[in-house]
Amino acid sequence: MIDINKRMKKMFGRYRRSQDGVTAVEFALVGGPFFFVLFAMFELGIMLFAEYALAQNIETAGRLIRTGQIQNGQNGHLATPAYFKTQICKNLGALLDCDSKLYIDVRKFNDFSSISGSLPNPYKAGSTELSTSITSNTAYEPGTAGEIVSIRVYYDWQLFLPGLGKLIGSTGSLLGNTSPAGSSDANSRLLTAAATFRNEPFN
Segment 107-150, tens digit of pLDDT: 999 888 888 888 888 888 877 788 888 888 899 999 999 999 99
Is 84 within a domain? yes
Is 86 within a domain? yes
Which range (17-26, 36-45, 95-104) has the least confidence? 17-26
Mean pLDDT of 35-40: 85
17 has a pLDDT exceeding 90: no
Mean pLDDT of 152-180: 72
10 has a pLDDT exceeding 70: no
- What is the spatial distance between Cα 92 and Cα 182, in angstroms, rounded to a whole number? 30
Q: How many domains does the chain have?
A: 1
Question: Cα–Cα distances in Å, from 172 out to 15, 16, 50, 145, 168?
Answer: 49, 47, 21, 41, 7
Is 185 within a domain? yes
- To which H or E segment does residue 198 belong? strand 188-198
pLDDT value at position 163? 72
pLDDT value at position 182? 47
181 has a pLDDT exceeding 60: no
Is 175 within a domain? yes
Share of the chain above pLDDT 70, in %: 76
Is 40 within a domain? no
85 has a pLDDT exceeding 60: yes
Share of the chain above pLDDT 90, in %: 33
Is 64 within a domain? yes
Region for 165 from its dihedrals, namely left if φ exceeds 0, alpha if ψ lies in -120 to 50, beta otherwise: alpha
Is 10 within a domain? no
pLDDT value at position 170? 60
Residue 125 φ then ψ, to 5°: -55, 125
Is 39 within a domain? no
Which range (133-142, 157-166, 170-179) has the least confidence? 170-179
CB count within 10 Å of CB 130 equals 22
Beta strand 102-109 with 148-158 is antiparallel
Contact 89, 193 (CB under 8 A): no
Contact 201, 146 (CB under 8 A): yes
Write out the residue range of the structural domain in which residue 142 sits. 48-198
